[in-house]
Amino acid sequence: MMDDHRKTVKHYDECSDVHELTFSCHRRIPLLTNDLWKQLLAEAITSATDLHQYRLIAFVFMPEHVDLLVYPESRDSGSIPDLLKAIKRPFSFRIKEILVQNRSTLLDKLTVQQRPGKTSFRFWLEGPGYDRNITDPATLEAAIDYIHNNPVKRNLCSRVSDWKWSSVRHFLLPDAAFDPDLPALKKLPIGWSSRR
């Protein structure tokens, strides 16, 4: 029942809204534990946000899911489903190549039977994931705090600043050097919440 709902989530692509997106690994397996894979995911996110004209405001990579806060840069920005596809597909393709090259047994766990005689590689849980439109600064601040605190709540680190795979350092130290392992962040335009 839940899977049917996840496949039919309606995305409201309002050009003045921040989108809080969450998407999970196949079967919620903790696949994002490898630094190389997280670097490849960061590259895919930067490429997709550039291609579809979105600003990445905040993020966290958890072992079995990803949280992103994105904002469309213009009315010509791509749709949320197109953005997600541009993140997930090239990343999944690259991971499959790595698994095949290394003859990994994980490849079998991530290969699903679609129908008799047809299999498919699945890094990501099928469906669009979670998408919430954020329209006001207080909700945005709460969403940023929530995703940054996720690793602490899960006992992956003791302080939010200890988790490399999030945007928290960008918020705590905005003048710090850019970490090339992470996706590129952009600030919201001044007065974004008054554009509604």
Q: What is the reported pLDDT for 1?
A: 43
Instruction: Walk me through the domains of the chain, giving residue ranges and CATH numbers.
Output: 15-195 (3.30.70.1290)
Q: What is the reported pLDDT for 180?
A: 94
Phi and psi angles of residue 170, each rounded to the nearest 5 degrees, phi first:
-60, -35
Handedness of CA 168, 180, 55, 83 (dihedral sign): negative
Q: What is the reported pLDDT for 96?
A: 97
pLDDT per residue of the chain (196 residues) written in tens, 0 to 9: 445 544 455 545 556 799 999 999 999 999 999 999 999 999 999 999 999 999 999 999 999 999 999 999 988 888 999 999 999 999 999 999 999 999 999 999 999 988 788 899 999 999 889 999 999 999 999 999 999 999 999 999 999 999 999 999 999 988 888 899 999 999 888 777 655 5
CA dist 143 and 68 (Å) reads: 10
Q: What is the reported pLDDT for 14?
A: 56
CA dist 72 and 80 (Å) reads: 9
**Is the overall model pTM greater than 0.75, yes or no?**
yes
Phi and psi angles of residue 121, each rounded to the nearest 5 degrees, phi first:
-85, 135
